[in-house]
Structure 1
Amino acid sequence: MKLKIHIFVVMTVLCLFSCTRRGSGGYSTSLLILEDSLNTMPEKYLNRIIDIDTASLNKADKALYYALLVQAKALVPDTPLQLSNQSDEALSYFLGQKDSARLCSLYFSLGKVYADNYAFFRANSSYNQAEKYVRNDSRMLFSIKLGEASIYHFKMMYRMEEECLQQALHIAVLLKDSVLTAEALHELAKLHLTENNYSESDNYLRRALQLLPSRKSALRAEYYKDLGKIYLAMNKLDSALYYVDIALQNDSSFNFKLSCNLIQGNIFLKMHRLNDAERILMQDIDKLPLNWKRDTYYKMSLLKDAEKDYQTAFLYAKKSIGCRDSLDMNNKIGYISNLNAFQEHDRQQQRIVRINMELAEQKLAYYKLAVSLFLILGVGILIVYRVKRAKRKIEVTLKEKEEIMVDLQNSRCEAEHRYQQEKDDREALEVESLNQRTEYYKRLNALTVPILIKSQNSQGFMHLKKEDWDIIVQNTNACFNNFTYRLKEAFPQLTSEEVHFICLLKMELPLSLLSDVYHIAKGSISRKKMRLKEKMKIENMTLDDFIRQF
């Protein structure tokens, strides 16, 4: 009789516990209103979110508040808002409530924040978690695929990037949303532009412009600007200038005008309109980001070098190197910050795993107790008690073994994952080091040739001695992995003078400088390239492209 009373008391407690769990998921109306309004006007509601007093919030409202902070940081990246481990608390609460929609939104916002801070490993992990909880929200899945594609683009994993973009395009087509479809086509166009596949890039952009509504003037301006980039890369300079002008007609904002000025400056340089190029490139240069300043000063040094104004060219080259050094220092600081962030990310993941295990154990214990009580009531108090005790012993033993196997498997997967990540990081660092070394030697050779030229005749032609050619060949080999040795092995019919000429082409020296070195007109340099191309039996590409890829 006493046992029946105890069972009744336990069942009553369980019922109260269940009701408490079901009733704990309510949020305050003010937070729900902020959640609905944040996507439409993030700047307006950001300060209202920050000013909320968290001391008066219950557990549910705190979780939603922390999620809104992360979402605001993702929507307004320039805000000085600092995020701590509060996002873990929100994730844990939403996991306990099985709130898939908010879990997906929070993981997606975390992915954007991490990507903005160049923590791409954590960003990719967050996007994968967001995709896990996306359910039937096709628009969110579209945004996730674009986010994953941006990470693959930074890692130069272009095949994976294209797969994500094609999936995003398929989603946009199914939604029959012309703006989203145009956005996916635009991203595909930028990818093919990076891969120098200009015809495909042009095709995607024109399709995007056809679909984009006319009211989206800022997006149309961006698309036309990219069309200008494509035609600049194809050396169709009049068309490039035409599309950049159309872009400026659609968007006259200051930052957009700065980006267009750089493209126009490059167009004028290729047109040999040097005065126009200098005027455009040097316009508002103090307001440009460091990487744009670096490239602009470098182009100006080449321009002044072509005009024989070596002193000014040297000053511009010095400013370019100064900007490069500042960027390198910022990158080093960012690398150190990311390494620390990776360690913190690992600790956060361990905490999340531990919380998930605790929740799973709580749920398991709850269901076990409920099943036990129903069995006791159905079969009989004494018999059910004995059977349940034996059954629980077996279940506990099996659970312990299963947990041991799962822990061993998780440990192995984590070790393999860490090893692969470390390997990828080392490869990325090696690639970055090689790129920096290559860029350094290109600039070194570009500055070395004018210094080596010590004598000029009355017409301004240059005379290189054997020692000068030896230095150029040595720098080329050091920069491009024994370039001349590989060249002679592949084309033994080349003479030493032809090898020297190819070394200058490998350094991508301007046509005017080649003309001065060989004492011939620029047209003769082009014919010299054609004869050399025929001698080397190069087909389906120019001599410059072949040497650049060799």
Structure 2
Amino acid sequence: MRLETGFIVAMLIMSSFSCSRKQHSIYSPSLLMLEDSLDVIPEKSVRQILEIDTSSLRGADKAFYYFLLVKAQLTSDAPELLLDKSDVALSHFTKQKDSARLCQLHFFLGKIYSGRYAFLRANASYSQAERFAEKDSGMMFAIKVGEAYIYRFKMMHDMEEKCLEHALDIASEMKDSTLMAEALHELAELRISEKNYTEAGQRLCKALSILPQKEFSARAEYNKDLSRVCLAMNRPDSALFYIDIALQNDHSDEFELTCNVLKGNICLKMHRLKDAERLFLKNIEKLPLKEKQDVYYKMAQLKKEEKDFQVASEYAERSIRCRDSLEANNKAGYISNLNAFQEHERQQRRIANMNTKISEQEISYYRLAILLSLMLCLGISIVLRIKQAKKKVEVSLKEKEQDMVRLQNNQWETEVKYLQEKHNREAIQIESLNQNVEYYKRLNALTVPILMKSQNSQGAMHLKKEEWDIIIQNTDACFNDFTFRLKEAYPQLTLEEVRFACLLKMEFSLSLLSEIYHIAKGSISRKKMRLKEKMQIENMTLDDFIKQF
């Protein structure tokens, strides 16, 4: 059980270690150790970095090596290293999407360019670092302080103050008293450059009040600057007090040198000439040229006040030599910076030309894309129009087919209707014929007995007026007032002719008619012909006309 528990714990430790080092796994452990040691022992680490054989490094390690070279140049007094290889590291970190190291590398480059007075490059590097800083508040603080230094050199105090106030806000959000004190110290430096010593002193006092006691080096620096402020405000006693406190907090030789010069100026202000001379000449050869020139100049002034003109002349000559050396160094630096600036301008022009070419290519691509799009749209519109025309034709054909179908249906309906009407007419005719048959049966049933009564003993028929009236009445009753209609249509007919028409309407045979009129059948036919001519009947017989009337 214990063995299993130990195994599980070991696995958890290994997995957590592998997760924590996941982003570093592609680099050599020795290079990663050098990265950490650069912050602790920079001189030794720089020597180790320079001794590395780059030919044995693979791609990722070589890019990381160039990153270490840039950091080494920033964190130590190493000689200036070539920065052209930094592009390799930038490209590698970009591919790896390592935003943290991209931010650091751009920040290091910004600091280096700023130290070389290549402020355009420095500003561009700081901007890139800010883009990759994301939520790294500490890095954002350092970037804003670096940008403020550039604006200080350019005498753009408003922009410098804006950057420093931003840095102070970041430090306040982080609740980091050390960074807050640093921001206040930088704001005090700004006020000193503006000769606003009162506010500068207030800023420095506030910085000292919030700075942790363990930050001895920073406290020494702030007290030294507070001493400078007091000296500028003509308060030499306070200045001497603060410079002594500064020396108590930092015992390094370099810091003591700068403090001795400041303390000498304080003694000079207090007319303690011997103390001032002792402090000025103490380790004077270790001072930078600028401060050495200033010390020699002040010593010359001091000896001049003491009427020791020969020594004053010697100090003045030394001051002039330091000034000439300083000007020569500055000239070399200016030339180097000018060359760097010109190289930067050439690079910017090349970049601008490349961007112009790329823009022209993009414009060409866009034009081609637009042309292809227009052609595609034109083709699509043509296809759509063809489809629409085809659809219209199909719709037209369909409508024509529907019209043809409707016409055929109408024709069929008309034919059916015609046939129906014809059938109805035939039915009516049949019914009429049936009615006529019935009428004839009834009429014959009424008329024949009358005729039979009028026969004499020899069989001859002699109809009286009353009998003719009965025949006419029966005919009118059966055939819808036949005689009235006939007289109205043919008023020229006589009563005898109307009676004859009634007999024809009842469709009596020729033999019966010849018996009624006591004439031959031929005479009956001629009688019909005369009546037809009188009625002006054409294209049909009298019998058919009377039957239809």
Contact kept? 1:110, 1:123, Cα under 8 Å: yes
The answer on 1:72 being equivalent to 2:72 is: yes
Aligned to 1:327: 326
Amino acid at match of 1:35: E
**Taking structure 1 as reference, are residues 138 and 179 closer, same or farther at Cα in structure 2, changes over 3 Å only?**
same
Counterpart in the other structure of 1:151: 150
Pair 45,283 (structure 1): closer, same or farther in 2 beyond 3 Å: closer
Write out per-residue CA displacement over residues 290-334 of structure 1, whole angstroms, 9 at most, x where no aligned residue.
111111111112222222323322222222111111111111111
Could you tell me which amino acid in structure 1 is paired with residue 230 of structure 2?
Answer: Y
Query: Bigger shift: 197-206 or 309-318?
Result: 309-318
Aligned to 1:197: 196
Native 8 Å contact 1:88 1:348 kept in 2? no
Alignment-derived partner of residue 53 in structure 1? 53
Change in 2 beyond 3 A, CA 1:333/1:394: same
TM-score normalised according to structure 2 size: 0.58
Q: 2:171 aligns to what? A: 172
Deviation (angstroms), 1:233: 0.6
What's the counterpart of residue 43 of structure 1? 43
* Corresponding residue for residue 316 of structure 2: 317
Match of 1:439 in 2: none
**Tell me, what secondary structure is at the counterpart of 2:72?**
helix
Mapped to 1, the partners of 2:91 and 2:338 lie a distance apart of 25
Please tell me whether the aligned partners of residues 92 and 355 of structure 1 are also in contact (alpha carbons under 8 angstroms): no
Give me the identity figure in percent: 57
Question: What is the one-letter code of the residue matched to 2:235?
Answer: K
Pick closer, same or farther for the CA change 1:282–1:40 going to 2, 3 Å.
Answer: closer
Q: Distance in 2 between matches of 1:64 and 1:98?
A: 14
Q: Deviations over 1:352-371 (max 9, x none)?
A: 789999999xxx9xxxxxxx
**Alpha-carbon shift at residue 139 of structure 1 (Å):** 0.5
What RMSD in Å do the two structures reach over aligned CA positions? 3.2
Unaligned runs of 5+ residues in structure 2 are 1-22, 374-549
Report the Cα distance in structure 1 between the residues aligned to 2:248 and 2:341, rounded to whole angstroms.
44
* Residue 265 (structure 1) aligns with: 264
Q: Distance in 2 between matches of 1:35 and 1:24?
A: 11
Alpha-carbon contact 1:182-1:208 (below 8 Å) kept: yes
Would the alpha carbon gap of residues 229 and 94 (structure 1) be closer, same or farther in structure 2, given more than 3 Å must change?
A: same
Over 3 Å counting, the alpha-carbon distance change for 1:237 and 1:353 in structure 2 is same
Cross-structure match for 2:369 = 394
Specify the SS of the correspondent of 2:79.
coil
- Residue 142 of structure 1 and its aligned partner are, at CA, apart by 0.7
- SS of the residue corresponding to residue 212 of structure 2 reads coil
Partners of 2:70 and 2:81 within 8 A in 1: no
**Partner amino acid for 1:127?**
Y
SS in 1 for 2:122: helix
Q: Distance in 2 between matches of 1:148 and 1:40?
A: 26
Tell me the TM-score normalized by structure 1. 0.58
1:31 aligns with 2:6: no
Q: CA deviation at 1:347?
A: 5.0
Indicate the SS of the match to 2:133. Answer: coil
For the structure 1 residues 33 and 189, does the alpha-carbon distance in structure 2 shift closer, same or farther, using more than 3 Å as the test? same
| Cα shift readout 1:16-58 (whole Å, capped 9, x = no counterpart) | xxxxxxx999433433443344334433432332233222333
- Aligned-partner residue type, residue 45 of structure 2: Y
- Alpha-carbon distance in structure 2 between the residues aligned to 1:64 and 1:352: 26
Answer whether contact 2:74 2:108 (CA < 8 A) is retained: yes
Any idea what SS the aligned residue of 1:133 has? Answer: helix
Runs of 4+ in 1 over 6 A off after TM superposition: 350-360, 395-398
Instruction: Evaluate the alpha carbon distance shift between residue 244 and residue 126 of structure 1 in structure 2; reply closer, same or farther with a 3 A threshold.
Output: same
SS in structure 1 of the partner of residue 27 of structure 2:
coil
Q: How does 1:369-448 map to 2 (within 5 A)?
A: 394=369
Q: Which amino acid aligns with 1:53?
A: D
Work out the CA distance in 2 between the residues paired with 1:257 and 1:126: 35
| C-alpha distance after superposition, 1:253-302 (max 9, x if no partner) | 11111111111111111112222211211222122111111111111122
2:137 matches 1:138: yes
Give the Cα separation in 2 of the matches to 1:350 and 1:100: 28
Aligned counterpart, 1:369: none
* CA deviation string 1:405-462 (max 9, x = no partner): xxxxxxxxxxxxxxxxxxxxxxxxxxxxxxxxxxxxxxxxxxxxxxxxxxxxxxxxxx
Instruction: Using the TM superposition, name which of 330-339 and 314-323 deviates more.
Output: 314-323
Bigger Rg over Cα: 2
Contact in 2 for aligned 1:92/1:352 (Cα 8 Å):
no
Aligned length: 348
Change (3 A) 1:396 1:316: farther
